């Protein structure tokens, strides 16, 4: 079974790396609300929650829960309707209890500024039903790519077209 194999791998990785450094943070899976295992348009929250719960149970059984830090779900598109649906279902399926902190990718429209995240954080706290849960941003920033003069690197050129995450250098520094 795929979940059992991944859990074994994750627990061994946690044992290994937490023995080397007590400050290691493990992210369960990056952006599970996008294509995730099955070819579903917005991820497979049911399988993701099963994985989170199984890893947490294995952390408890192996005695490493107290010296490991597991975060998730590291959702993409934080603040969108589809992401809210994923987060609400994730909570109902018990995955938040598996995490030491709830993570998201808090990209904002560069014209709105970082403060625009505050209503979304409040809404997330409401979904969690627990004000003591730690929230962390696993990714956040703005590209300083100038869409009209992109560098020759094709990956940078691609990112120039992402209008909500592009800012000039002054705008990125200001935010």
- What's the confidence (pLDDT) of residue 158? 46
* pLDDT recorded at residue 140: 82
Confidence of residue 154 (pLDDT cuts 50, 70, 90): very low
Q: What is the pTM of this model?
A: 0.81
Is residue 70 predicted with pLDDT exceeding 80?
yes
Mean pLDDT of the chain: 82
In sign, the C-alpha dihedral spanning 62, 48, 78, 122 is: negative
Give the pLDDT score at 131.
Answer: 76
Residues 6+ apart with CB under 8 A from 138: 27, 30, 71, 74, 103, 104, 105
**CA distance readout (Å), 50 to 17, 32, 168:** 24, 12, 42
Q: Is the pLDDT at 139 greater than 60, yes or no?
A: yes
> Residue 25 belongs to what H/E stretch?
strand 25-27
Higher pLDDT, 71 or 39: 71
Model confidence at 157, pLDDT cuts 50, 70, 90, reads: very low
pLDDT of residue 144: 62
């Amino acid at each position: 079974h795929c979940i059992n194999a991944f859990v074994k791998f994750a627990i061994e990785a946690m044992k290994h790396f937490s023995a080397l450094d007590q400050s290691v943070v493990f992210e369960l899976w990056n952006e599970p609300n996008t294509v995730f295992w099955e070819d579903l348009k917005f991820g497979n929250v049911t399988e993701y929650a099963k994985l989170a719960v199984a890893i947490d149970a294995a952390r408890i059984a192996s005695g490493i829960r107290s010296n490991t830090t597991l975060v998730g779900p590291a959702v993409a598109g934080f603040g969108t309707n589809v992401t809210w649906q994923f987060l609400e279902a994730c909570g109902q399926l018990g995955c938040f209890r598996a995490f030491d902190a709830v993570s998201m990718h808090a990209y904002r429209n560069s014209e709105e500024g970082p403060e625009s995240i505050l209503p979304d954080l409040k809404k997330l706290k409401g979904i969690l039903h627990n004000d003591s849960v730690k929230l962390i941003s696993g990714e956040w920033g703005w590209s300083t790519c100038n869409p009209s003069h992109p560098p020759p690197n094709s990956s940078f050129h691609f990112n120039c077209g992402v209008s909500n995450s592009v800012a000039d250098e002054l705008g990125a520094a200001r935010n």
